[in-house]
Amino acid sequence: MTTQGLTVLQAAIMKMQWTEDRQRVISQNIANADTPGYQARDMSPLNFKNLLKNSSSSLSLAGGIKLATTNAHDISGTTGQDGMPSPHVEKNPYSVSPSGNSVVLEEQMLKMNENYEAHRMASAIYQKNIDMLTAAEKAP
């Protein structure tokens, strides 16, 4: 059984990838906490609406019947560009040191913990869905 067409699993995977990318950005901020002129960076939040819009699964009914879209706000189910946000410089850092560095270690630690919880939640959702599919497959 393939999990490629399951939007929930793909959404969980994309969230885990986003948290991995964010962890990398936060780590770079912490590593450059003493670098003069370094500006703290962060990832744009992952937008669930864009996640569905850019999902590589096609939303279809049993028998291959595609869902029709009658409004521009409907979910089309078409494959789009990679909707993953990219790192950007924080607009309003809490403080800036005299050397021009905007990294505040306390903020970075809070972001790291928030990111950890988001990754843990996404991986739990993924695992629960896999467990559910496994149980359904084993059912008589």
Residue 70 scores a pLDDT above 70 = no
Number of other CB atoms surrounding residue 95 within 10 Å: 9
CB contact at 8 A, 41 and 90: yes
Give strand ranges (E) for 1-137: 41-43, 87-89
Residue 110 scores a pLDDT above 70 = yes
Which residues sit opposite 89 in a β-bridge? 41
Question: How much of the chain, in percent, has pLDDT values that exceed 70?
Answer: 63
Task: Kindly provide the b/e burial profile for residues 39-56, where b requires at least 16 CB atoms within 10 angstroms of the residue's own CB.
Answer: bbbbbeebeeeebbebbe
25 pLDDT tier (thresholds 50, 70, 90): very high
Cα 87 to Cα 27: distance, rounded to the nearest angstrom: 12
Q: Locate the domains of the chain by residue range.
A: 7-138
Task: Kindly provide the b/e burial profile for residues 99-110, where b requires at least 16 CB atoms within 10 angstroms of the residue's own CB.
Answer: eebbbbeebbee
- pTM for the whole structure: 0.67
